[in-house]
Amino acid sequence: MTFRSRRDSFQLTRNSLFSSSNKRNLSGGIFLAIALAALVVGAYFYGVSKMSASSLIIQTQAISEKYRTGTFAHAEVDVIVTVMSSGPYDLNLSRITFGLTLDNATFPSVQASSSVCTTFQSLNYALSFGSNDPLAVTYFSQAKSQAVTVSMTAWASSGMYSGWVTASDSRIWTFQFYSADH
């Protein structure tokens, strides 16, 4: 029968705590904690980046319309659109496409140049939409107020997020029509 003193027992416990297997468990736990913290921080920044891209707003500032009826019917709608972002990061916009619908008539889309939309600052786009549809031109020449919808689709990069974003603006617009000779 062997008896150990308290001192020997403490020494034995201390040695077992700092054995190589416990050191591996401790370093694995530290690595796991760091990886988890990086995951949480990355998810937060990704979410904020995606929120920046989702904060895209467009507003229609001015619309004018020209039309020509007859054999070579043509309608042209000129639109000034303001694009803004209220997110915390700048938006790099590329592959920008604008669409226009007047009442139920859809115009061919228009491409726009790439831009950087900084936080709380705006970009202005002067767009020109054209249609050679004689029925649409006749309608435009007679209507005074129309439901106007301007839409925008773009590839946005913001912080850690990249993806397609869309925004639109709809309103009733009263036109001052005039006939064009072009």
* Spans of all domains in the chain: 52-179
Closest CA to 131 of 154, 103, 165: 103
163's CB contacts (< 8 A; 6+ apart) are 50, 53, 155, 156
For the segment 16-41, the average pLDDT, to the nearest whole number, is 69
Alpha-carbon dihedral angle through residues 106, 110, 116, 119, given to the nearest 10 degrees: -20
Q: Cβ atoms within 10 A of the Cβ of 151, count?
A: 17
State residue 8's pLDDT score: 53
Enumerate the H helices of 18-117 as residue ranges: 20-54
Task: Give the tens place of pLDDT for each residue, 84-137.
Answer: 887 777 888 999 999 998 887 888 999 999 888 877 788 999 999 988 887 777
Average pLDDT value over all residues in the chain: 78
State residue 174's pLDDT score: 77
Return the higher-pLDDT residue of 14 and 40: 40
Classified by CATH at the fold level, domain 52-179 comes out as Immunoglobulin-like (2.60.40)
Q: How confident is the model at residue 182 (pLDDT cuts 50, 70, 90)?
A: very low
